[in-house]
Amino acid sequence: MRIIWSPLSVERMTEISDYIAEDNLEASIIWVESVFNIIDRLKQYPDSGRIVPEINKPNIREMIHGNYRIIYKIHKDELHIFTIRHFKQILPSGEVN
């Protein structure tokens, strides 16, 4: 399965890791590695994430990782990573196009 990161998902990942690194660089590195591990597992088990409640489409899913939601779409043999958001933030519909 091919992984495709949206520009927004890369931006969010960078913002979050930079924020974590302000207090603890090692924790930031560990967090980034753990996100990549989750995405790597999704290659084998793309349906393992739950359906995003705000959208309610079976091919748009999310994995919860600590305080963050990794939101992705399953499309044939591709996984499109749309965004990474704090779980308390409302998901704007424009982030999952």
How does pLDDT run across 7-50, given as a tens digit for each residue? Answer: 999 999 999 999 999 999 999 999 999 999 999 999 999 999 99
| Strand ranges in 2-92 using DSSP code E only, listed in sequence order | 2-5, 50-51, 60-65, 68-75, 78-86
Q: In the predicted model, is pLDDT for residue 56 greater than 70?
A: yes
DSSP 8-state code for residue 49: S
The reported pLDDT for the residue numbered 45 is: 93
Q: Which residues pair with 65 in a beta bridge?
A: 68
Q: What is the CATH number of the domain that holds 80?
A: 3.30.2310.20
Q: In the predicted model, is pLDDT for residue 88 greater than 70?
A: yes
Q: Among candidates 63, 64, 85, 65, which has minimal Cα distance to 12?
A: 85
Q: For residue 94, is it within any domain?
A: no
Containing 50, the helix (H) or strand (E) segment is: strand 50-51
Whole domain around residue 30: which residue ranges?
A: 2-89
- Whole-model pTM? 0.89
The reported pLDDT for the residue numbered 87 is: 86
